Chain A
């Protein structure tokens, strides 16, 4: 079973609109972190935002926020007031805690969502 599922392979959004990128995850570990990364066409991986499994509030970072619904095991990224420069691949990733029994160090990535912002 996939540990990270991103169901939107591609999205087109009008500039200045808000956009939600979906991410669901699967883990039995009570301690885990969820991360979003942006990968522009130039290839680098840019860390955007993080949510810990014990965090009571949704994470926010500038125009980025994370809609964390623990019971549903979802961690959707919301980008407010989208800009042309937001066009990129977006990856959701998870890192499980010490109780996971393997893979605890490395991030597990989803397949990504290709977001295109249209003027």
Chain B
């Protein structure tokens, strides 16, 4: 069964550095998402992306964050000038179509640790 692939599985970065998290969504999916889960807390929506532009973003997704689809398969989340509180599990997800009735399929996540 096709799946969402995320790399790396674990990223350790010094505070203040930039980090890029990578995702390969399911090939026939058109909508892509990033979520964050701080340890022990619930999963939080960051941003959705469709047709090469941001569709929607949460208040968490400030100027520190950006997303890009650099080619036909990858979808990236860039975090500039990382802070300790950016340490979390970051999930990429994709869905075939938009709408309340479309399941989003998640990758295995990237655990980001900021030192």
Contacts and interface: CB of A to CB of B under 8 A. Distances in A.
Interface of A: 29, 31-33, 35, 37, 42-47, 50, 52-53, 91, 93, 95-98, 102-112
A52 B42 contact: no
B86 interface: no
Contact of A44 (B42, B48, B107): B107
Contacts of B111: 43
B75 interface: no
B58 interface: yes
Interface string B26-57: 00000101010000011111101000000110
Interface in B3-36: 31, 33, 35
Contacts of B31: 105
Interface in B40-82: 41-46, 48, 55-56, 58
Contacts of A43: 89, 108-109, 111
Interface residues of B, number: 29
A106 B33 contact: yes
A95 B100 contact: yes
Given A33-B100, A104-B56, A109 B44 contact: yes
Given A104-B56, A105-B33, A106-B33, A47 B104 contact: yes
Would you list the 10 A-B pairs with minimal beta carbon distance, nearest first? A106-B45, A105-B48, A45-B106, A44-B108, A97-B100, A105-B56, A33-B100, A109-B43, A52-B101, A109-B42
A52 B107 contact: no
A45 B100 contact: no
B100 A52 contact: yes
A58 to B, nearest CB: 15
Contacts of B89: 43
A3 B63 CA distance: 26
B92 to A, nearest CB: 10
B45 to A, nearest CB: 3
Given A91-B42, A106-B33, A106-B48, A37 B106 contact: yes
A44 to B, nearest CB: 4
Contacts of B98: 105
